[in-house]
């Protein structure tokens, strides 16, 4: 019989790191493991956030974990239980042993129901669209009525399947233009004395500094980068990630250099065969070498070599990713609103978001793709102008 434990303090959570990480690997969820989530908690989380992690054990073994927090700094009516690092990741998800998700969801729902503050809204996202968690938590939530549920968003995630064939075969499946460009970039890079290397324990500290410098420089004047906004905390966060994952080859920081001078630093994390790109920094002076593309191609090649299964290119801006992708997945943002005295204000708060998504969805359905693209550009332009 499984038992849920509500964890509100970091030391207890850290005790579970090894088992939690094993679940992240099993679920191929690199951003849902302790390295990423605890790192986020230490360096990115809002100041008044409190942990509300539910760990579920069966005969002493961790069979699932729902790593949640609640920001008490938010006004009471706006408070939501969210997944750790949800505002900082491509995908986050509760974790469970295979086919134990519903059992874990049942235990989690009962533990949350009696926790303080009692959840008025539970926001789950960005979840993989194949995730059973939103449905499982809703179905298992105690009480005569299930929580109300709505999907706040659903976005495409381009992917590259790595488990069949080789890098060369994947390259052959790309358009002739893509291949010609790749060969040209590669040739030019090599002609200019370009080399690449992956960080090792010996180089990682300096490489993280390089990444930080290049990333911040790249984003200057371009708008906001949440990673760059961390300032001095950025190298600390990445350093902790490296300390946890580099030994197992799951922290991949790729440095491209020209005659020993770093021109690009690209960071990916992996777990259970899934690769996700965290971020990249590169030197504008070497724009003609298309360092980000070269870097991504090198990461893909390494993925094939390491027998990884999939490279998830993330939601966000997807246009350039389509040239690389040979598949697609989706990320969803689902919100559960438990039925109780807090429902009316939670519903009132959710209504505008739901309505605006409906309008957006309908606009997308009504307008031709070019019009949607134009609107998107306009929206970006307005948001930049505002900043």
Binding site for other proteins (CB under 8 A): 97-103, 105-106, 129-132, 135-136, 139-140, 143-146, 154, 156, 159, 161, 163, 310, 326-330, 332, 361-362, 365-366
State in angstroms the smallest separation of the CB of 295 from other proteins: 22
- If the CB atoms of residues 79 and 138 are measured against other proteins, the closer one turns out to be 138
Which residues on neighbouring strands pair with residue 334, listed in sequence order?
124, 151
- If the CB atoms of residues 140 and 171 are measured against other proteins, the closer one turns out to be 140
Q: In the chain, how long is the greatest CA-to-CA distance?
A: 70
φ, ψ dihedrals at 5, nearest 5°: -125, 125
- If the CB atoms of residues 55 and 108 are measured against other proteins, the closer one turns out to be 108
Which residues on neighbouring strands pair with residue 255, listed in sequence order?
197, 265
Instruction: Report the alpha-carbon distance of residue 310 to residue 272 in Å, rounded.
Output: 10
- 36 and 244 in contact (C-beta within 8 Å)? no
State in angstroms the smallest separation of the CB of 329 from other proteins: 6
State in angstroms the smallest separation of the CB of 143 from other proteins: 7
- If the CB atoms of residues 256 and 268 are measured against other proteins, the closer one turns out to be 268
- If the CB atoms of residues 361 and 383 are measured against other proteins, the closer one turns out to be 361
- If the CB atoms of residues 141 and 286 are measured against other proteins, the closer one turns out to be 141
State in angstroms the smallest separation of the CB of 321 from other proteins: 13
Instruction: Report the alpha-carbon distance of residue 241 to residue 295 in Å, rounded.
Output: 20
State in angstroms the smallest separation of the CB of 275 from other proteins: 13
Tokens representing residue 307 in the block: 């027998």
State in angstroms the smallest separation of the CB of 319 from other proteins: 16
State in angstroms the smallest separation of the CB of 330 from other proteins: 6
- If the CB atoms of residues 328 and 383 are measured against other proteins, the closer one turns out to be 328
Instruction: Report the alpha-carbon distance of residue 56 to residue 119 in Å, rounded.
Output: 18
- 134 and 121 in contact (C-beta within 8 Å)? no
């Amino acid at each position: 019989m499984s038992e849920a434990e509500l964890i509100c303090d970091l030391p207890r959570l850290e005790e579970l790191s090894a088992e939690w990480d094993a679940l992240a690997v099993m679920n191929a969820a690199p951003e849902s493991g302790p390295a990423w989530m605890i790192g986020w908690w230490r360096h990115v989380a809002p100041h008044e956030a409190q942990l509300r992690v539910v760990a579920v054990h069966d005969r002493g073994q961790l069979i699932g974990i729902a790593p949640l927090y609640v920001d008490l700094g938010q006004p009471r009516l706006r408070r939501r239980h969210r997944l750790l690092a949800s505002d900082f990741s491509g995908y986050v998800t509760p974790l469970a042993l295979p086919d134990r998700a519903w059992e874990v969801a049942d235990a989690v729902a009962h533990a949350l129901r009696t926790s303080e503050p009692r959840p008025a809204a539970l926001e789950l996202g960005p979840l993989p669209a194949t995730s059973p968690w939103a449905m499982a938590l809703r179905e298992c939530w105690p009480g005569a009525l299930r929580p109300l549920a709505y999907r706040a968003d659903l976005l495409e995630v381009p992917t590259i399947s790595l488990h069949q064939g080789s890098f060369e075969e994947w390259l052959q499946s790309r358009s002739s233009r893509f291949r010609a460009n790749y060969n040209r970039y590669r040739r030019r890079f090599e002609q200019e004395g370009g080399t690449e290397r992956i960080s090792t324990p010996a180089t990682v500290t300096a490489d993280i500094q390089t990444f930080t410098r290049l990333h911040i420089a790249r984003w200057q004047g371009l708008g906001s980068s949440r990673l760059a906004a961390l300032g001095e905390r950025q190298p600390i966060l990445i350093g902790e990630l490296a300390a946890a994952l580099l030994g197992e080859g799951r922290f991949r920081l790729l440095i491209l250099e020209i005659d020993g001078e770093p021109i690009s630093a690209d960071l990916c994390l992996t777990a259970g065969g899934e690769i996700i790109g965290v971020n990249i920094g590169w030197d504008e002076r070497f724009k003609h070498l298309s360092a980000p593309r070269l870097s991504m191609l090198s990461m893909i090649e390494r993925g094939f070599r390491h027998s990884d299964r999939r490279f998830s290119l993330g939601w966000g801006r997807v246009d350039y990713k389509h040239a690389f992708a040979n598949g697609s997945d989706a990320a969803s943002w689902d919100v559960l609103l438990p039925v109780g005295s807090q429902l009316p204000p939670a519903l009132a708060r959710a209504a505008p978001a739901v309505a605006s998504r409906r309008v957006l969805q309908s606009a997308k359905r009504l307008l031709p793709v070019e019009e949607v693209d134009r609107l998107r550009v306009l929206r970006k332009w307005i948001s930049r102008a505002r900043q």
